[in-house]
């Protein structure tokens, strides 16, 4: 209940009715929340309602058997009904609500034998403290002394605010944080950081832009900012079995027209492969091509294809096949799928695939610079993690794979040269690499970058394209402080990952930047030089990795980090 009271206090500081809730499972707090009806403009955003939703997400099930809900005010009919439907074991509340309480005061859904579930209720825990918090809040509203965050004349002007009116409203904070892989999505981590921001500066105006760099979470991030439809369809996975994959389709009636955002890993994800040697030879991008065809059939005139997390090293051959390209062996037959099929490749005809993409703009979202072949190529750098060096692989497996990609790269370049596609592939208009094999990024996703380049796609920075899509520059222009972040920050981050992409745009607009990170390297001078002013680690104390990744722990740590980021800015 003390934790629930802390949540209630956060609600009061944000101008909400001070009600807080927690959910406990097996002696551990797995979810916590406070009233957010005004913040979210959502009539269902009651503290216990939000906490129950979070608990279901954490446990991965809707049945919350074994859970106890702690809430500072007796639940209303809506929340008590959710407790019935979610099958909780027990509800503990602080202050009774004679006007609307639904577990004992006005109604009692917990013991209604007409319903299919009942639960135990304990009332009056820390009742005085819960009641005083509510009474004080409403008393201040009645007599006008609750100046809240909008009229504290005694507060000093933050350095960002040129006048008193702006200071009264609090700083304008823009959150643009990448996902913390294995822990939280971009949207989740931003919601948690927002709570800390509002704790430190209750009057802050917070805008959230979910971001990604073209890898995992890209579709979700764009969907949150632009809307559209997350389309689900069955395609072939990397090893040929059917899998459920999705992409984002946005029916934009503006200048761009309908477009689709596709994550390669939806149909060719490394998590879908056993990563044995045979799997590494057989893994194919055919399903990625099927997603492209599906989006084209829906009317997409622009495609944004995120490369990352692939299982294959087939050079994008499967993708080309799905689009209709012909890849023949010496006998004139179609080669097999995957890297194994490249052993027999003799010729390539891109005509059907190029025709399929006529008048379609294709952008590759990619932040690696590896070429198709060589010491830094697709096979030698990324092949081992996909199984090319697994048990049963010959000692020269990487050499063989690279040799196959070299032959493929030559034939792919010849096929490209037979057509006009690709004239604007790299750099300024008119630039056209003599060979696709050495183009930076051609080796992305097992060489899929090379295949897309041959079809006339443009190679672009994943984060830069994302920031353009979601309108980051306009949002940054109106912000006083920008908070970014990612799961792990090191000098590689400066090579083009999301936080530095955000920081460069922010610096161009003259805005300070704080990065909240799950972990950081000792030496991050390159990151600071790239434009990040302050790095705030998520964990305030040493934690085991398993504990740090726990959503309830991560949420609390994100709140603390958000609080620290804003307080540092307001100094």
- The residue among 277, 286, 425 whose CA lies nearest residue 361 is 425
What token pair was written down for 428? 């300024």
Catalytic, out of 16, 48, 54, 190: 48
Query: How does 217-226 read in b/e, with b if 16+ C-beta sit within 10 Å?
Result: bbbbbbbbbe
Q: Which residues, 6 or more positions from 11, have their beta carbon under 8 angstroms from its beta carbon?
A: 17, 18, 19, 20, 34, 35, 36, 47
- 166 catalytic? Reply is no
- The DSSP secondary-structure symbol of 378 reads I
The answer to whether 210 and 186 are in contact (CB under 8 A) is yes
CA distances from 398 to 387, 389, 395, 404 (A): 10, 8, 8, 10
What token pair was written down for 149? 């965050």
Rama region for 351: left / alpha / beta (φ>0; ψ in -120 to 50; rest):
alpha
Q: What angle do CA 47, 50, 53 make, to 5 degrees?
A: 150
What token pair was written down for 523? 């030496």
The answer to whether 108 and 83 are in contact (CB under 8 A) is no
Q: Which residues, 6 or more positions from 356, have their beta carbon under 8 angstroms from its beta carbon?
A: 293, 296, 323, 324
Distance of CA 268 to the CA centre of its chain: 18
Query: How does 496-533 read in b/e, with b if 16+ C-beta sit within 10 Å?
Result: bbbbbbbbbbbbeeebbbbbbbbebeeebebbeebbbb
Which residue numbers are catalytic?
48
């Amino acid at each position: 209940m003390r934790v629930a009271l802390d949540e209630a206090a956060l609600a009061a500081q944000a101008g909400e009715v001070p009600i807080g809730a927690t959910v406990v499972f097996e002696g551990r707090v797995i979810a916590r929340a406070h009233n957010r009806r005004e913040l979210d403009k959502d009539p269902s955003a009651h503290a216990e309602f939000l906490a129950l939703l979070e608990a279901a997400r954490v446990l991965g099930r809707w049945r919350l058997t074994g859970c106890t809900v702690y809430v500072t005010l007796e639940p209303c009919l809506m929340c008590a009904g959710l407790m019935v439907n979610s099958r909780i074991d027990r509800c503990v509340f602080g202050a009774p609500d004679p006007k609307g309480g639904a577990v004992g005061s006005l109604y009692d859904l917990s013991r209604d034998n007409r319903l299919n579930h009942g639960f135990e209720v304990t009332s009056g825990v820390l009742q005085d403290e819960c009641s005083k918090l509510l009474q004080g809040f409403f008393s201040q509203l009645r007599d006008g002394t609750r100046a809240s965050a909008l009229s504290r004349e005694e507060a000093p002007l933050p350095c960002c605010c040129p006048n008193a009116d702006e200071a009264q409203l609090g700083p304008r904070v823009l959150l643009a944080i990448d996902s913390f892989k294995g822990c939280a999505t971009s949207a989740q981590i931003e919601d948690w950081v927002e709570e800390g921001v509002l704790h430190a500066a209750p009057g802050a105006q917070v805008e959230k832009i979910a971001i990604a760099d073209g890898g995992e979470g890209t579709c979700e991030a764009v969907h949150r900012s632009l809307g559209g439809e997350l389309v689900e369809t069955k395609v072939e996975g990397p090893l040929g079995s059917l899998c459920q994959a999705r992409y984002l389709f946005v029916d934009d009636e503006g200048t761009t027209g309908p477009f689709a955002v596709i994550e390669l890993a939806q149909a060719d994800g490394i998590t879908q492969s056993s990563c044995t040697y045979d799997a590494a030879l057989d893994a194919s991008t055919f399903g990625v091509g099927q997603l492209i065809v599906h989006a084209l059939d829906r009317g997409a005139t622009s495609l944004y294809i995120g490369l990352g997390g692939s299982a294959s090293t087939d050079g994008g051959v499967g993708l080309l096949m799905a689009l209709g390209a012909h890849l023949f062996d010496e006998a004139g037959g179609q080669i097999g799928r995957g890297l194994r099929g490249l052993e027999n490749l003799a010729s390539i005809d891109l005509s059907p695939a190029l025709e399929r993409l006529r008048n379609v703009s294709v952008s590759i979202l990619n932040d690696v610079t590896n070429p198709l072949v060589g010491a830094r190529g697709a096979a030698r750098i990324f092949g081992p993690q996909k199984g090319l060096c697994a048990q049963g692989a010959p000692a020269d497996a990487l050499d063989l794979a690279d040799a196959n990609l070299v032959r493929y790269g030559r034939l792919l370049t010849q096929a490209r040269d037979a057509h006009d596609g690709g004239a604007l592939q790299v750099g300024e208009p008119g630039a056209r690499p003599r060979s696709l094999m050495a183009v930076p990024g051609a080796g992305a996703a097992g060489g899929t970058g090379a295949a897309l380049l041959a079809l006339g796609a443009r190679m672009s920075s994943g984060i830069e394209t994302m920031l353009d899509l979601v309108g980051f520059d306009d949002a940054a222009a109106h912000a006083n402080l920008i908070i970014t972040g990612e799961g792990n920050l090191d000098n590689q981050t400066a090579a083009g990952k999301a936080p530095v992409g955000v920081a460069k745009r922010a610096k161009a607009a003259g805005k300070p930047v704080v990065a909240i990170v799950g972990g950081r390297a000792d030496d991050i001078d390159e990151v600071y030089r790239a434009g990040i002013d302050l790095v705030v680690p998520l964990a305030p104390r040493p934690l085991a990795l398993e504990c740090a990744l726990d959503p309830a722990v991560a949420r609390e740590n994100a709140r603390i980090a958000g609080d620290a980021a804003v307080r540092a800015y307001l100094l």
